[in-house]
Structure 1
Amino acid sequence: MWVYYTIAVVLFSLLNVGSTDYIGAVVEYQPLEGPTVNTTLEENLKNYIYHIEQAKALGAQIIVFPEYGLTTLVDDPEEYSIPVPNVGTTNFTNEAYVLLKLSNAAFEHNIYIVANLLERANASDSNTTYYYNTNVVFSSNGTLVARYRKMNLYNEPKLTPGTENAIFNTDFGTFAVFTCMDIMYYNSSQAVLENTGVTDVVFPTAWFSHFPFYMALSVQQGYALANKVNLLAANVNLPSRALGGSSIISSDGTILRRILTDVSSNNIAYATLKPPSSSSRNFALMGFDIFRNETRQPLSNFANLTYFEYDKFNYKPVNLSSENVTEEICHGDFCCNFNLVIARNGTSNTSEVYKLAAFKGQMTYLNKTELPIRICTLLGCVNDEISSCGVWPRTAYTTLFRQMTVWGNWESAQPDQFIRPTGIRGDWEPLYNATYLENKTNETVGASFNVTRPTNNVVSFGLYITGSASVAQVSWFVVVFMIFVFGGF
C-alpha cells in the first residue's frame, strides 16, 4: 500500500505549483532588418509585443529575448544605440521609444521582460560617448530593475566592456543576468553567484555553435549543472550561420524545454521552474526524458562549425570491444579518469573510433582570447586521424554507451578557476540524464560527471576547466576517496 501512496505523493509534488514556483518563457528569435534603423527597431519591437502577449497567455511571469534581437547583428552600434536611464526609473515618457514600449508591455501584461539592446552613454567628465551591449530588465510594474553591460565582448570592436554585475529580485527568485560570451568567463558568470543568493539566471545570447566544446545547448546545460541554478537561455535564430539553440534548464541540470531547429523561425518555449532547494535529480536518474518520444530531424540547414585545436591534446584509444573501460588520460601533470560501460548486445560497432583526450595549457579561445584551459574528454572520431575527432559525423555513431563517467581531483584551486561538464551528440543534442558533483576545499577541487542513460552518437563527453589556477595532480587515493564520498561510477 505504501508504494501507491508514495507514487501519489510524487505525482502530486510534480503537478503542484507552490508559491515560489514560477513559469518562465524564452524566445528564439530571428531579427528582421528593415530599410531604416527605425523600421528595424519598430518591426522587431512589434514582434516582441506579440510574444509577450503569447507568453502571458501561457501563464509566464518572466520572458527572455535574445541578444541582438531588436537590432540585428550590426557592426556599427552608433545608429541603433539609445540612452538607458538608471535602474529604478519608472517613467519612460521622455526616454527612447523602445524603452517606453517595453515598460508599458511589462506593466500591461504583469510580466518581467528581459531584452537586449545597444546603449550609448556620455562620460561624465568628458565629451566621449561610449557604446555598450546592454540587457535591460523591466519588472511586472514597468520599472527598470536591472541594466547589465556585457563584459566579455566578441567581434564587437566598437563597444566598451561593462564592469558591473547585475542582479534583480522578484517574488519568485533572485536573478542574475549576463550575456553570451560572459558564460565562458569567471566575470561575470561565476562572480555574480558568489554570496549573492542568486537562484536563477537569464541569459540573452547570439551564440555561434562550434563542435565539440562550444555547442549552445551543451554550454547552457553545463552551466546549470555546475552551478545548481535555473537557467533561461534565449538565442538568436539564424541556423544558416550556426546561431540557434535555446533552453529552459532546472537547477538539477534537467532540460525542461529546448528549441533546436534548422528552420528560420521564431519560437517560444515555457516551463515551470522550482527553487533550487526543492529540485531533485531523482526523476532524471530513473530515466525520465521529456524528449524521448520527440522526432529528432537531421539539422541539415544548420551550419556545421568546428573549433578544436586537436594537435595540442594527448590521446589514448578506447577499446570498443571491451564491455567496461576504465582508463586514465593525462597531459603533463593534469589527469582525468574515465569509466565507460559499452553495450555488448550487437549495438556496438567496433570499427568505429573513440579516443580519450587531455589538454593543459594556453589555448586561443575561438580565435580571440588566450586562456589557461584544461580539458579531458571522450571524443568520437570519423577515422583514426586525430584531425577527425570531435567533428560533426555525417553518419551517426552507433556505439552505445550504457554509462559514462569522468572524474578528477586537482590541487591549488584558485578563486577564479571553474569547472563545467561538457557533452554533445551528433544531432546537436546535449547528453540527457546527466549528473555533476563538485567538491572544493582550500587545497583541492574535485569533479565527477556522469551520464546514466544509454547514449549513442556521442561526439564529446568530458570536463572543461578554465581560470588562472596552477593545477597539479593529487594522488590516486585522494581521487578514489572523492569518488566514494561524492559520487561517480
Structure 2
Amino acid sequence: MLFTFSIIWGLLRGILASSDDYVAAVVEHSPILAPILPVNVSTAQSLMMKNLASYEKHAINAKQSGAQIVVFPEDGIYGVTLGPFTNLPYMENIPSSTAISTENINPCLSEVQFEDRPVLRRLSCLARDLSIAIVANMGDVQPCQPLTDKGCRTTTKLAKYNTDVAFDTDGRLLAKYHKKHLFFEYEYTEPESASLAVFTTSFGVKFGLFTCFDMLFQKPAQELVRRLGIKNIAFPTAWINSFPYLASVAVQQAWSRAMGVNVLAANLHIPTYNFTGSGIYSSGKVISEFMSSVPGESELLMGKVNANPLGNPPKIGGDDHYVNKSYKPDPEKHPQFVYKALVGNEGAVDACHGNFCCHAKFSRQELDGELYALGAFSGMDEHEPEEYKIQVCTLRKCATTLSQCSQQTNASQTMFSFLSINGSFSESTFIYPVFMLGNRQLLQPEFVHVGNGSMTYNDQSVAVLTATLYGRIFTETVRE
C-alpha cells in the first residue's frame, strides 16, 4: 500500500510541478515586402494574405510540436518598406480595447462584421482552427479629430498605429496594443500615452505585450512587470541590429535577465537590412535562440517555459521623460564614446567620459589583427522623435583602429578566460547586462555574474564580441 501511494504521489508531484509550464513558439519571418509605390486595397490584401500563408505553415508546425502560443514579428504581414502615404491600404480598423475586454469579439465567428477586415479574420480563424494562441503585429486605423487628437492628420482625419493583437485558442480577440516608442516610423501615429496591454490565455498564463523599441523605456515595458507583476512577455519586434552591444538577441536576453521574466521575442528576418535575431528566454536563460545572416530564411523556435520564473526586477523607478517635439534630434548623431585600448594578454584599463568612468580587468589570448577597447559614454542618445539618457561601459572588438571602435563588428576570435567590467553608474540607472560571443551567440546567465553595476566572466576561454553594461536613466528630465 505504501509503495503504491508513493508511486501515485510521485506522479502527482510531477503533474503539479509541470502545471506552470507551457510550450511557446516564436517565428522569425522573412516577409514578402510591400511595394514602395502606392497600391489599392485589393493589391495590399493580396500581399498580406501571402505573408499570412507563411504564418499558417509555421502555426501548424508549432501546434503539431505541442505549442500553446505562437508569436510573430513586428511588420511581418507587409514588411518595412511602407511610408505615411502608402500604408493606408494595409491598415484595418481594430476594435477598441474597451470593446475587446467587454464584448467577446471573435472575428472568425463574425464573417459579415469582419468581411472588410480579412487580416483580423484570418488570424482569428487560424487561432481557432488550430486551437493555439496567436500574437501578431498589424496596422490599426482609427478616425480622429485634428484639433483635439495628437498626431491626427488634417487631410484624412485618420490615425494609423503600429499595433500588436492577441487571439485566444478559440479565436477570440484578447488584446491590442499601440506601440508607444516609434523608431523613425513616420508612417504611424504615436499614441498619447503608453498603454499597459495584458491578456490571459485559455491555458491560464497572463502575458504582457509591447513592441521593439519599447524595450528601452520605462513605460510600458517595465511597468508591466513592476506595477502589474507580469512574468510573461510577448514581444513582436523588427529590431535592426547594432553590433555588438545593441544586437537583438543580446538585448532580449539582458532585459529578460534584468527584469526576471520570460520573453518570447519574434524578429523579422531581413539580413540585408540587419533584421535578425529571435529567442525564448527565462530570467536570462536561453531556451531557444536564432540569429542568421542567410537571406530568405524563416525560422520556428520552440521551448517549454515555466510561467513563474525565478527573479525579480531591480527597484529602480522614475518616469520616462520625452523631448519637446519642437526639438528635432539629429538622426545621424550617435553617442561619442571615449575608448581606451586593451594592451597585452592580461591587465586592466580605464575609460572616462566626463565624470562617468568605466574599469575593466581581463585575461586573454591576444590575437594579432583584433583590437579590443573599453568604451565609456554618459549622455543623450538621439532617435527622432525622442532622445533618452544612457550610461554605457562597453568592452568590444573594434573594426580596425581605435578611432573606428564605434563601427559595427559582428564576429571575433580572441579568447578570454577572465573579464570583469564595472562603472560609476548613477543609482537611478537601469542596466542591461549584454554579453555576446564572437560567433554572435549568447552565454547562459550562470556563466556571467552580474550585480551592483558590474559584470564578471571567469570560466573556460571563449571568443568575446562584447561585454557591455548598457544603462538607461529614466529619472532625469531631457531637453525641453
The bucket for the TM-score relative to the shorter chain is 0.7 to 0.9
* 2:421 pairs with one of 377, 383, 406: 406
Do the aligned residues in 2 keep the contact of 1:113 with 1:139 (CA within 8 Å)? Answer: yes
Q: Note closer, same or farther for the CA distance 1:52–1:321 as it changes in structure 2 (3 Å cut).
A: closer
Report how far residue 39 of structure 1 moved: 0.8
Letter in 2 for 1:245: G
Give the superposition deviation at 1:191: 2.1
Does 54-63 or 178-187 show the bigger shift?
178-187
Superposed displacement of residue 279, structure 1: 8.1
Q: 2:381 aligns with which of 363, 371, 389?
A: 363
Identity of aligned residues (%): 29
Q: Which runs of 5+ in 2 are unaligned?
A: 1-12, 150-155, 313-331
Q: Which residue of 2 aligns with 1:485?
A: none
* 1:14 CA displacement: 11
1:149 corresponding residue in structure 2: 178
Shift of 1:368: 6.0
Distance 2:340 2:28 in 1: 39
Q: Which amino acid aligns with 1:354?
A: Y
Are the counterparts in 2 of residues 105 and 142 from structure 1 also a CA contact under 8 Å? yes
Aligned length, in residue pairs: 413
* 8 Å Cα contact 1:225/1:436 also seen in 2: no
Q: Distance in 2 between matches of 1:402 and 1:188?
A: 38
Aligned residues of 2:237 and 2:265 also touching (Cα < 8 A): yes
Match of 1:107 in 2: 128
- The residue matched to 1:265 in structure 2 has which SS? coil
State the Cα distance separating 1:409 from its structure 2 match.
Answer: 5.5
Give unpaired runs (5+ residues) of structure 1: 1-12, 281-306, 439-445, 472-489
For 2:441, what is the secondary structure of its paired residue? coil
Question: What's the RMSD between the two structures over aligned residues?
Answer: 3.0
Offset of residue 276 of structure 1 = 4.1
The reply to whether residue 77 of structure 1 matches residue 83 of structure 2 is no
- Among 341, 354, 376, the alignment partner of 1:317 is 341
Q: 1:196 to 1:50 in 2, by over 3 A?
A: same
1:165 lines up with 2:232 in the alignment: no
1:175 maps to which of 204, 207, 212: 207
The one-letter amino acid of 1:448's match is S
Q: State the Cα distance separating 1:270 from its structure 2 match.
A: 0.4
How far is 1:160 from its partner?
1.1
- C-alpha displacement of 1:130: 0.8
Measure, in 2, the Cα distance between the counterparts of 1:223 and 1:405: 20
Q: Secondary structure at the match of 2:92?
A: coil
1:26–1:248: 8 Å Cα contact kept in structure 2? yes
> Would you say the 8 A contact 2:267–2:278 is kept in 1?
yes
Give the C-alpha shift of residue 468 in structure 1. 4.3
Amino acid at match of 1:144: L
Secondary structure of 2:395's match? Answer: strand
Q: Are the structure 2 counterparts of residues 46 and 309 from structure 1 closer, same or farther at C-alpha, using a change threshold of 3 Å?
A: closer
Q: 1:97 to 1:398 in 2, by over 3 A?
A: closer
**What are the equivalent positions in structure 2 for 1:116-131 lying under 5 Å apart?**
116-123=137-144, 128-131=157-160
- Retained in 2: the 8 A contact 1:21–1:273? yes
Partner residue in 2 for 1:466: 472
Correspondence for 2:237 among 189, 201, 205? 205
SS at match of 1:196: coil
How far 1:90 moved relative to its partner? 2.6
Distance 1:100 1:452 in 2: 52
Q: Which residue in 2 is equivalent to 1:420? A: 432
Q: TM-score by structure 2 length?
A: 0.78
State the AA in 2 paired with 1:49. Answer: E
Distance verdict in 2 for CA 1:223–1:308, change over 3 Å: farther
1:174–1:336 Cα change, 3 Å: farther
Cα distance in 2 for partners of 1:100, 1:385 equals: 54
